[in-house]
Amino acid sequence: MKRALAFAPLVLLALLVVVGVVMLTRGGERQTVSDGRIGRPAPVFELARLDGGAPLTNEAMAGRAYVINVFASWCTPCRAEHPQLMAMREQGVEIVGVAYKDEPGDAAAFLNELGDPFRVVVLDPEGRFGLDLGTAGVPETFVIGVDGTIRAVHRGPLTSDVIERTIAPALAR
């Protein structure tokens, strides 16, 4: 009996490892969720630019549809989605990049290395704007309509399928 109890922690650890591996490797991608934000006004903002120019405000973006992409240089999935953002830019999509809880120098180096798909990059060093948007983590993408409302939200890295099914239709509305 004592021998069986001695192996119990190892069995429990092995079980946790198996569950963890299954959860991390299961198929599918994160579901697009709205958290009730779709149809609500985008948050009011005034954010410092990475390039040091005048702060970007929601008023400056008024009257046009655009995408907000919340990213960070330390985020591995952000690297994975980057080619999709570059392709969207080539198609004329206006994208505002939000460097979430990131150092300006690190964000700049990230964009210098991979290319800059953004119309403008703003800084959110403490994550306050991300909280206002309802960000749960990075990367996340929000489509803001001409009327200033949130039209779509995607949590996780963008794929061509997500862009085709979620982002592009929301921009076209």
Cβ neighbours, 10 Å, residue 17: 10
Using CA atoms, how far residue 3 sits from 6, 50, 90, in Å, is: 5, 61, 65
pLDDT tens, residue by residue, 16-70? 666 565 555 555 444 444 456 899 999 999 999 999 999 999 999 999 999 999 9
d(CA 168, CA 93) in angstroms, rounded, equals 9
pLDDT confidence bin for 131, thresholds 50/70/90: very high
Which pTM was predicted?
0.80
Whole-angstrom CA distances from 93 to 41, 67, 86, 103 are 20, 8, 10, 26
pLDDT computed for residue 13 by the predictor: 72
Ordered by start, the domain boundaries in the chain are: 32-172
CATH class of 32-172: alpha beta
Structure tokens at 51: 């390039």
